[in-house]
Structure 1
């Protein structure tokens, strides 16, 4: 053997190989990845809001024998329960063979995505046209939302206790809605780098036919209200007790000649939510209790009743303890957190060849190179950072070795150190004393109306999440 061949072996041993999943996997695993993506696309088209995601998650759980935690009297190893928080967050657990006091293993993701909420008093008429005023939710580039087709997904709670749910714009036979834009011929001096699309410009065009009554001042507005009342029983005042979102009406679609990617609204973070629940529902009972948590409001800081900061999490753990016949108090729960392991299953950024300059290419994630681990998030000098310990990362690396088809890429942060940054729910679990790290799927177009993900990364995440649950 020549010295050159020795060095080639040494390079493989000490540095390893950076290859995409498509280069490493055999045809059987590739087919599994494509089949798995088909299930994901179906889920994504059904779950475009937090409430819809919870409904789908509960349906999936019930099909596997899960019961509402409020309907059980006691818990033993192998029992499966779920708890719904305000219809917009979901906790699920499979009771382990050991006591809850030995800690749990958890995948936590968020099911909210950037969208447009209708304002409290949204409906108005101007220039004989009817519009809805909106308030954007999450970090969006506002210029991306005009001229795309939008659907309305909503719940309206009436003062008599009745609840009205509706979706308009998803079926091919439905009308769609749109935010208008200014033609390039006239935008000089109006839409400039200093005056781009503003939040108050994001108004949905609804209709243009007036009611036939000369005495009515706002004829088109009344025509829209007449339609809403006749079809859904909604009056103008009912918008005050409504949650109505405008979201892209696009379906999840394969992208590329090879169909290796998926274009869709809501990858962030329903892609990880779906993978997490699939891994959770298809993993054997282990020694430690397994938890799958879907939370809300991550895109706006995780505050509120349904966010990761909420005490609903502690309440769920307390219920598991008590139903298992064990003592529950804050001291016990804190001790359990200290023995628990978790993954924040959130998306991250993939290197876009057209925007390489924002990345440290030696510490960046690539599309199709597997699940992405981010040891820490935050910005600048590691501000607002949750950083996993070296010991915990080493433990997870050991888990990966159990399945040769798990492909992982390691990095930290979003982009170059002083370029920007971002955070996840990991820090809120870390604050509780839980070992946690971010491991998710790299995307193109994050926070845009349509995002792009690789089917390879989707399936690699699934394979790892299943192994993680087994400990």
Structure 2
């Protein structure tokens, strides 16, 4: 096909599309990853139960986060951890606890912006609702409406003839779901198979119901590619890798809002997995810290491709192009954790996989974002490098990646886990 896209890349893209469609919320992404780990023979570890470090695959799931690890034969206190981090959440509109309101003959859904969303991208989209419900008996139920149930209508140009579009997040990002006086809570409870009166808690988010699509034989257009592309690539790589060290996948939640939660990168989840695994392998505390000293982390989050319509926003000599390979992200002020040793580690993995890479540095006049890399490096004190596939329209409802880059990322992450 055009652009050098071959069958393995198309197969990877088809599997990625399926993963995205199965993951309309962070909770669904963690569930789908767990389902695939189960199918591959990984054993689920309950946090309240004794820890197992027997050779083979293990995983735990907490909320919208999942951590999986492979213990090779002969692992012990002299082993090292090789971690790949990512995150399951994306910018969205989160439903408020009492989401029902009425205005001028319409029933609307009260929402709150989650993360750094692009407001205008949510206009005129066919939106579903997905997330989790907590019932009175303590049971957690994942749900998805599976079909569009609401939309955010844009003001017609006949009534607003200015080119500039300024949206008030309280007044204008207010979805419509019905006429008359009807609450959406009944529809949500139905999707979860619960009675409305049984629901005592809810974490529910809007999502785009339009299916992922390959565009022009090279590009993938889909919601939540930041950062499901990395979650999928790391999961694919883990299940294919033959690692001599303890290979760890950490897919956190809440990166888009700062990571400071029980399931975020600033929380204890990954650290506890590493500690308990080391102790179960017979390590003393001193030996555990020695294991960390030889460990490393590849933080895989989405990066920026240059947008050819806005080149002035990019560093003239360090702008990645979609299709040119995953990027390593660098920032002098440590908004990314990458440094010289991290770059060298990444390049070794790229060479092992036979895949290209690019460098991303922000334009000095444009504020730089951040990701889970600095959080992981700070909490664990291990060498960390920030990488990812270059996206167009990042944080939009419909982001765009190149098929070659997502496939290459999985190959490089496998190469990292298989390094000598």
Q: What TM-score do the two structures reach when normalised by structure 1?
A: 0.82
| 2:174 is the alignment partner of 1:203 | yes
**Unaligned residue ranges in structure 2 (runs of 5+):** none
Pick aligned residue for 1:121 from 86, 98, 109: 98
- Check conservation: 1:225, 1:236, Cα contact below 8 A: no
* SS at structure 1 position matched to 2:93: strand
| 2:251 is the alignment partner of 1:298 | no
Task: Return the offset for 1:201.
Answer: 2.3
* SS at structure 1 position matched to 2:66: strand
Number of residues of Structure 1 aligned to a counterpart in Structure 2: 414
Pick aligned residue for 1:183 from 156, 164, 177: 156
Give the direction of change, closer, same or farther, for the CA distance of 1:233–1:421 in structure 2 (3 Å limit). Answer: same
* SS at structure 1 position matched to 2:310: helix
Q: Deviations over 1:211-265 (max 9, x none)?
A: xxxxxxxxx236x566667775454894x61111111111111111xx1111000
| 2:182 is the alignment partner of 1:221 | yes
| 2:43 is the alignment partner of 1:88 | no
* SS at structure 2 position matched to 1:285: coil
Q: Determine which structure has more spread, i.e. the larger CA radius of gyration.
A: 1
| 2:111 is the alignment partner of 1:134 | yes
* SS at structure 2 position matched to 1:43: helix
- Check conservation: 1:334, 1:433, Cα contact below 8 A: no
CA distance in 2, matches of 1:313, 1:126: 46
* SS at structure 1 position matched to 2:279: helix
CA distance in 2, matches of 1:227, 1:105: 44
Give the direction of change, closer, same or farther, for the CA distance of 1:395–1:157 in structure 2 (3 Å limit). Answer: closer
- Check conservation: 1:400, 1:467, Cα contact below 8 A: yes
- Check conservation: 2:335, 2:371, Cα contact below 8 A: no
| 2:407 is the alignment partner of 1:407 | no
**Unaligned residue ranges in structure 1 (runs of 5+):** 1-20, 211-219
Task: Return the offset for 1:99.
Answer: 2.5
Pick aligned residue for 1:427 from 365, 370, 374: 374
Give the direction of change, closer, same or farther, for the CA distance of 1:58–1:126 in structure 2 (3 Å limit). Answer: same
CA distance in 2, matches of 1:98, 1:132: 52
1:350-361 matches, cutoff 5 A: 350-361=305-316
| Partner residue in 2 for 1:396 | 346
- Check conservation: 2:108, 2:174, Cα contact below 8 A: yes
| Partner residue in 2 for 1:35 | 11
* SS at structure 2 position matched to 1:398: helix
CA distance in 2, matches of 1:225, 1:428: 36
Give the direction of change, closer, same or farther, for the CA distance of 1:47–1:100 in structure 2 (3 Å limit). Answer: farther
| Partner residue in 1 for 2:317 | 362
1:11-26 matches, cutoff 5 A: none
* SS at structure 1 position matched to 2:317: helix
Q: Deviations over 1:56-76 (max 9, x none)?
A: 111111111110223676423
| 2:403 is the alignment partner of 1:461 | no
Give the direction of change, closer, same or farther, for the CA distance of 1:325–1:122 in structure 2 (3 Å limit). Answer: same
CA distance in 1, matches of 2:79, 2:321: 37
CA distance in 1, matches of 2:377, 2:141: 39
* SS at structure 2 position matched to 1:203: coil
- Check conservation: 2:143, 2:188, Cα contact below 8 A: no
CA distance in 1, matches of 2:188, 2:340: 57
Give the direction of change, closer, same or farther, for the CA distance of 1:309–1:197 in structure 2 (3 Å limit). Answer: same
| Partner residue in 2 for 1:249 | 209
* SS at structure 2 position matched to 1:179: coil
| Partner residue in 2 for 1:260 | 218
| Partner residue in 2 for 1:60 | 36
- Check conservation: 1:179, 1:204, Cα contact below 8 A: yes
| Partner residue in 1 for 2:85 | 108
Give the direction of change, closer, same or farther, for the CA distance of 1:365–1:73 in structure 2 (3 Å limit). Answer: closer
Q: What TM-score do the two structures reach when normalised by structure 2?
A: 0.91
CA distance in 2, matches of 1:358, 1:246: 30
Give the direction of change, closer, same or farther, for the CA distance of 1:164–1:31 in structure 2 (3 Å limit). Answer: closer
Instruction: Give me the CA root mean square deviation.
Output: 2.5
- Check conservation: 2:100, 2:107, Cα contact below 8 A: yes
| 2:221 is the alignment partner of 1:272 | no
* SS at structure 2 position matched to 1:82: strand
